[in-house]
Amino acid sequence: MTHTNHEQALLNPIFKIISTAAKELNLDCYVIGGFVRDYLLARGTAKDIDIVAIGSGIELAKKVASKLKGKPEVSVFKNFGTAMIKYEDIELEFVGARKESYHEDSRKPVVEDGSLEDDQKRRDFTINALAISLNEPTYGTLLDPFNGIQDLEDKIIKTPLAPGITYSDDPLRMMRAIRFATQLDFKIEDISLNAITEHKDRIKIISKERIVDELHKILASKIPSLGFSLLHKTELLGYILPELTALQGIEEIEGQRHKDNFWHTLEVVDNIALNTDNVWLRWAALLHDIGKAPTKRFDKKIGWTFHSHEFIGSKMVYKLFKRLRMPLNDKMKFVQKMVLLSSRPIILSEDFATDSAVRRLIFDAGENIEDLMTLCEADITTKNPKKQKRYQNNFKLVRQKIVEVEERDHVRNFQPPISGEQIMETFNLKPSKEIGIIKEAIKEAILEGEIPNEYDAAYQFMLKKGEKIGLTK
């Protein structure tokens, strides 16, 4: 066990207040987990601080709150024996040291009071079991019963107990192992990685919300493919996102092959991670090709096809979000829209982009045109330097064209120059299908470039169109 002094980790005055409160209650207490890990990795100061008390964590939290400026509220979670204080920009969580035992069909433990070492044993990984004493005689001493310091140095994810026990007890830890490996660029110990594969079906007892929380963190990391490769390798991905695993593999018929759309997808996600922190745009990159598995066909004349994969994929996004209990709101609609439009700029970049095609793209993408272009540029995964340069130059031309067309025609947030009310007034109409026909015709004429996006031109066009369908002014 390491006993090195780390008082510099405890510079925040809050730690002295906790220490004093614990002394008054005659309790021992320690800061444990992510705060200690991140301090040792010099990853900046974590704002979530976990305090473990040998005794009642709830009592300690109340005592600490009474000593803090403004006496912040203590949120008590009796069932878990925990309490939380939000103070300034810090979130303090207090828990009594405990030992846990689990039933096979649940991740809710049977909890008993325990020692600090019992508490460290129940932690997920050795690097999260590190504790620093807040007790007067040993203030700042690091307690490391499982050699977590060495594992930090070796960049390895290990469990304090046999991995089979740790993962079976709480299967969410399998996701957390992969998430930490991704965020920290650490390696999961082989015996631990094998244990994840062995216990993969235990993930079924974990709530979808907790799984998605880990997926978000993997997607938000610097190189998301590290995590998705591990999810794939351990076969967890098939339980969570079967739409992705369905993309894996290359088929060959009559000497014609298609690319492996699974590994291509991971490249796209890594590419987009270089250019955006928007996790929903990263979701769009992850799901942009999911429609390819159900639409894959072989055509003797043209080879492999994936007709309408964007349309099918955007429908699949809804089902996937629903299954994972993700928000069925604007975020989902954004991902759907990106998937649906994901090939449009690519087609434009391969052909000569006409003004009307660009106008339609701006109209359909609206305020998300920039995100769509970022997604499509990330979709360039060719290893041929000439091709890559050509695609990138083509996209530059499309971007240029978008700016020119938008400056001239203002179709990004398209509002028709003529309203339905004006059409009704002009032709003395009651609500009817003719109004819709005329509105649609004006919109099409503007998008096709037949008339400018201006009131006078649209008004004249409306009169002609009305005449054609037998209306009189």
pLDDT for 1 equals 40
The answer to whether residues 146 and 102 belong to one domain is yes
The answer to whether residues 100 and 174 belong to one domain is no
The answer to whether residues 75 and 162 belong to one domain is no
Tally of domains in the chain? 3
Backbone φ, ψ for residue 269 (5° rounding): -65, -45
pLDDT for 472 equals 78
Which residue, 150, 111, 123, is CA-closest to 1? Answer: 150
Q: Read off the pLDDT of residues 383-404 as tens digits, 9 standing for 90 and up.
A: 889 888 888 888 888 899 899 8
The answer to whether residues 54 and 146 belong to one domain is yes
Last residue of one domain, picked from the residues 225, 240, 255: 240
pLDDT for 98 equals 81
The answer to whether residues 225 and 135 belong to one domain is no
118 — pLDDT class (breaks 50, 70, 90): confident
The answer to whether residues 91 and 112 belong to one domain is yes
Question: Where would I find the H helices in 224-343?
Answer: 224-233, 237-240, 242-245, 261-273, 279-287, 292-295, 309-323, 330-341
pLDDT for 2 equals 46
The answer to whether residues 116 and 133 belong to one domain is yes
Could you tell me if residue 255 is inside a domain?
A: no
For 317-332, what is the mean pLDDT? 96
Instruction: State the Cα–Cα distance between residues 71 and 248, nearest whole angstrom.
Output: 56
pLDDT for 238 equals 96
**Structural domain range at position 444:** 420-468
Q: Which two tokens stand for residue 352?
A: 């000569």
Asked if pLDDT for residue 360 goes beyond 80, the answer is yes
Last residue of one domain, picked from the residues 154, 172, 204: 154
Instruction: State the Cα–Cα distance between residues 318 and 339, nearest whole angstrom.
Output: 11
pLDDT for 283 equals 98
pLDDT for 213 equals 97
Q: Which residue has the higher pLDDT, 285 or 44?
A: 285
Could you tell me if residue 373 is inside a domain?
A: no
For 93-107, what is the mean pLDDT? 72
Asked if pLDDT for residue 257 goes beyond 80, the answer is no
For the chain, what percent of residues have pLDDT higher than 70? 94
Q: Read off the pLDDT of residues 409-442 as tens digits, 9 standing for 90 and up.
A: 888 877 889 999 999 999 988 888 989 999 999 9
308 — pLDDT class (breaks 50, 70, 90): confident
Listed in sequence order, the residues at least 6 apart from 472 whose beta carbon sits closer than 8 Å to its beta carbon are: 427, 466
String of DSSP letters for 155-220: TEE--SS-HHHHHHH-THHHHHHHHHHHHHT-EE-HHHHHHHHHTGGGGGGS-HHHHHHHHHHHHT
CA dihedral 223→227→229→235, nearest 10 degrees, is -170
Could you tell me if residue 121 is inside a domain?
A: yes
Asked if pLDDT for residue 73 goes beyond 50, the answer is yes
Q: Which two tokens stand for residue 59?
A: 């009592």
Mean pLDDT of all residues belonging to the chain: 90
Could you tell me if residue 15 is inside a domain?
A: yes
Q: Read off the pLDDT of residues 174-198 as tens digits, 9 standing for 90 and up.
A: 999 999 999 999 999 999 999 999 9
Asked if pLDDT for residue 301 goes beyond 90, the answer is no
Could you tell me if residue 396 is inside a domain?
A: no
The answer to whether residues 132 and 204 belong to one domain is no
The answer to whether residues 160 and 148 belong to one domain is no
Most confident among 80-84, 209-213, 294-298 (mean pLDDT)? 209-213
4 — pLDDT class (breaks 50, 70, 90): low
String of DSSP letters for 323-377: HTT---SHHHHHHHHHHHHTTHHHHHHHS---HHHHHHHHHHHGGGHHHHHHHHH
Could you tell me if residue 50 is inside a domain?
A: yes
For 68-80, what is the mean pLDDT? 90
Which residue, 381, 400, 364, is CA-closest to 288? Answer: 381
Asked whether the beta carbons of 151 and 142 are under 8 A apart, the reply is: no
Could you tell me if residue 458 is inside a domain?
A: yes
129 — pLDDT class (breaks 50, 70, 90): very high
Find the CATH number of the domain harbouring 209: 1.10.110.30
The answer to whether residues 193 and 147 belong to one domain is no
The answer to whether residues 14 and 132 belong to one domain is yes
The answer to whether residues 201 and 191 belong to one domain is yes
Could you tell me if residue 276 is inside a domain?
A: no
pLDDT for 111 equals 61
Distances 86 to 13, 75, 91 between C-alpha atoms, Å: 15, 9, 5
Asked if pLDDT for residue 152 goes beyond 60, the answer is yes
Q: Which residue has the higher pLDDT, 99 or 231?
A: 231
pLDDT for 103 equals 58
Last residue of one domain, picked from the residues 154, 188, 206: 154
